[in-house]
Amino acid sequence: MNTDSNRKEIVLSGIRSTGNLHLGNYYGALRKFVKIQDDFDCRFFIADLHALTTNPDPQELHANVKKILAEYLAAGIDPEKATIFIQSDVPEIAEMYLLLNMHVGIGELMRTTSFKDKARKALGLTAASDDDDEIEKQICGVETNRRVNAGLLTYPTLMAVDILIQKATKVPVGKDQLQHLELTRRFARRFNSFYNVDDFPEPYDFDFGGAPVKVPGLDGSGKMGKSEGNCIYLVDEPKALRKKVMRAVTDEGPQAPNSPMNEPVANLFSLLELTSTPEIVKQFRDAYADCSIRYGDLKKQLAEDILAVTTPIRERVNDILADEDYLRRVVAQGAEKARDAASKTLADVRRIMGIRKF
């Protein structure tokens, strides 16, 4: 365990246990976790309580927690440098979630983009019905109200608590989480000012060298995500991975020199930029500009460059998964450290809010 940890800035981040990790998780979060673990007091967790918001099968939830833990370790997070824990192993989080909710408005939660997206999906509304009134009307409808549960609505409170209970100031995440971070800062300020304390520092996203990324899917639009069904997983076997990349949506090719790029092709270039060298990216950009590009070549290159990143991780995962004792030790040690910090914060919050022992 790092003996300097008291003096280092606290970094916290987590990933929901909803299945194997994909390239979006890797470039948005995991890769950064590994890079920064030497220089900060890092606490990385598996957000199994957040995963409950979509009512997973209980057996699957447990298996998914294990998978992510193994993938964290296989990607290079070192439990001797960083604290690795499971969210539900820290019951202080659940109690503080209840307490913080007393200072969170239903309106601000309902306006959160991720809530609207998830509610829209749960209600089977199309993206065209983007209208908040329609979503609200359906949520409050007697027949559908169970489909959008209260946990989904209060998701940002739970995420804020994850961060604030550890007093983290740096939060490495992908672009889609920035709104949640903004809410976290707002809740921190609100708590501090309501009780006239300065307990909570304001956390910011953290991306050494650049802005948080959005990794696109291969289906032509939007981001890579499990619920979008467009993922390349870190544990995909080479054959399956190559097949997914070769099937990526493109277009009929540039019709004139220096044509603007359609979204599906621009997405392929975004992935290439993340995984390949600048020289290779330039070579394909030049080929696009002078209309000599062959998308098949681009995809082949992309698949090999992705495999160069994922293969070492995939090759380690199974051995790690088989070592149950090791996994148990890692999360027991992590839970102890995470609870140590969380229980101190919770004790302060209880006292500040007026919950005191007789």
Q: Which residues, numbered 36-95, are part of the site for ligand TYM (CB under 6 A)? A: 47, 50
**Residue position matching structure tokens 């921190």:** 188
> Of 89, 18, 91, 22, which Cα lies nearest the Cα of 54?
18
**Does residue 344 have an active-site annotation?**
no
Q: Is position 239 annotated as part of the catalytic site?
A: no
Q: With DSSP H G I counted as helix, E B as strand and the rest as coil, what are the percentages for the chain, rounded to 5? A: 60, 5, 35
Does the footprint of ligand TYM cover residue 109 (CB under 6 A)?
no
Main-chain dihedrals φ then ψ at residue 83, nearest 5 degrees: -85, 125
Q: Does 223 bind ligand TYM (CB under 6 A)?
A: yes
Among residues 219 and 287, whose Cβ is nearest to ligand TYM? 219
What residues from 121 to 180 belong to the interface with ligand TYM (CB under 6 A)? 159, 162-163, 171, 173-174, 176-177, 180
Catalytic residue, chosen from 66, 116, 175, 223, is: 223
Q: Least distance from C-beta 273 to ligand TYM, angstroms?
A: 13
Residues in the interface with ligand TYM (CB under 6 A) total 27
Which residue is it, tokens 């209208």? 131
Task: Tell me if 21 sits within 8 A of 30, measured CB to CB.
Answer: yes
Tokens of 22: 């994909």
- The token duo for 317 is 């995962």
Which of 32, 118, 244, 337 is flagged as catalytic? 118
What's the DSSP call for residue 228? G
The CA-to-CA distance between both ends of the chain, in Å, stands at 38
Q: Any catalytic annotation for residue 243?
A: no
Applying CB under 6 A, among 119, 122, 148, 224 the residue interacting with ligand TYM is 224
| CB 21, min distance to ligand TYM, A | 8
Q: Which of residues 10-29 bind ligand TYM (CB under 6 A)?
A: 12-16, 24-25, 27-29
CB atoms within 10 A of CB 109: 18
Number of H-type helices and E-type strands within the chain? 16, 5
Binding site for ligand TYM (CB under 6 A): 12-16, 24-25, 27-29, 47, 50, 159, 162-163, 171, 173-174, 176-177, 180, 213-215, 223-225
Residues designated catalytic: 118, 223, 226
